[in-house]
Amino acid sequence: MASRVNTTRMELTKTKKRLSTAVRGHKLLKDKQDEMARQFMYFIRRNKELRDEIEALLSKAMGQMALAEAEMGRASLEEALLVSASGDKPDCGTKNIMSVDVPSIGETETRVESLPYGFAFTSEKLDSAVLSMNELMPKLYELAAVEKTCDMLADEMERTRRRVNALEYVMIPEMRVTIKYITMKLEDNERGNLVRLMKVKEMMAKEAQ
């Protein structure tokens, strides 16, 4: 690359400016990469916490549902659960993490004004199971948002890593080599000009004699 550039002072100045910009950009991208890694680890830990909580709640709800089925019978249980319940929809949006728009789920409170069936022929175990499932939903919403955030941050981290490596191992070294090449060529030209001037001066001195 260096051998194909114009060995002029203007080109040298332009390359030095490009190098300065590349070095600043490399530092900013490295800082971004470090912060994204920190955020990514936070969401990975939160993902594990949510999965553990959801598994515990789900196990509890399924145990209560099994007890309710044993008391009521499968037919009565299915009949009670045919009635749909009205649930609160999550407050969905986005938030920006290091220039990445990731999904955001607002705080969703678990509210049950009334169970979606009558109490005459149902078991209290069914009530407990339905309430446990209702408590589970906000965590499922958050888990979905956290997992999508992890995927998006991982993709952006990979893109940032490629940019950092391109600057660090390709562009910045090439520009430094180019600057060194142009500087050496200019110094050679100056030395050549100086030698020619000295010869001209020597010739003129001889002619003057």
pLDDT in tens, 155-208: 999 999 999 999 999 999 999 999 999 999 898 888 888 888 888 777 787 777
Does any domain span residue 90? yes
Residue type, 179: I
Token pair for 12: 């040298």
Does any domain span residue 112? yes
Residue with tokens 């940032």: 160
Average pLDDT over residues 60-78: 76
Does any domain span residue 148? yes
Total structural domains within the chain: 1
The pLDDT of residue 35: 94
The pLDDT of residue 80: 64
How far apart (Å, rounded) are the C-alpha atoms in residues 19 and 99? Answer: 25
What percent of the chain clears pLDDT 70, i.e. is strictly above it?
Answer: 82
Residue with tokens 């391109």: 166
The pLDDT of residue 67: 79
pLDDT in tens, 140-150: 889 999 999 99
Own/partner contacts of 176-180, CB < 8 Å, gap of 24 or more, are: 176/19, 177/1, 177/2, 178/1, 178/2, 178/5, 178/15, 179/12, 179/15, 179/16, 179/19, 180/2
> For residue 182, what are the domain limits?
2-204
Average pLDDT over residues 95-123: 68
The pLDDT of residue 69: 72
The pLDDT of residue 82: 66
Q: Does the pLDDT of residue 121 top 90, yes or no?
A: no
Give one DSSP letter per residue of 58-104, joined into a string. Answer: HHHHHHHHHHHHHHH-HHHHHHHHTSPPP-PPP-EEEEEETTEEEEE
**The whole model's pTM is what?**
0.73
CATH number at residue 24: 1.10.287.3240
Higher pLDDT, 79 or 95: 95
Does any domain span residue 209? no
Does any domain span residue 93? yes
In angstroms, how far apart are the furthest CA atoms of the chain?
132
Q: Estimate the crossing angle of helix 9-72 against helix 124-166, to 10 degrees.
A: 170
Residue 118 DSSP class: -
Average pLDDT over residues 116-131: 65
The pLDDT of residue 78: 64
Confidence band for 90, pLDDT divided at 50, 70 and 90 = confident
pLDDT in tens, 21-64: 999 999 999 999 999 999 999 999 999 999 999 999 888 888 88
Q: Does the pLDDT of residue 91 top 80, yes or no?
A: no
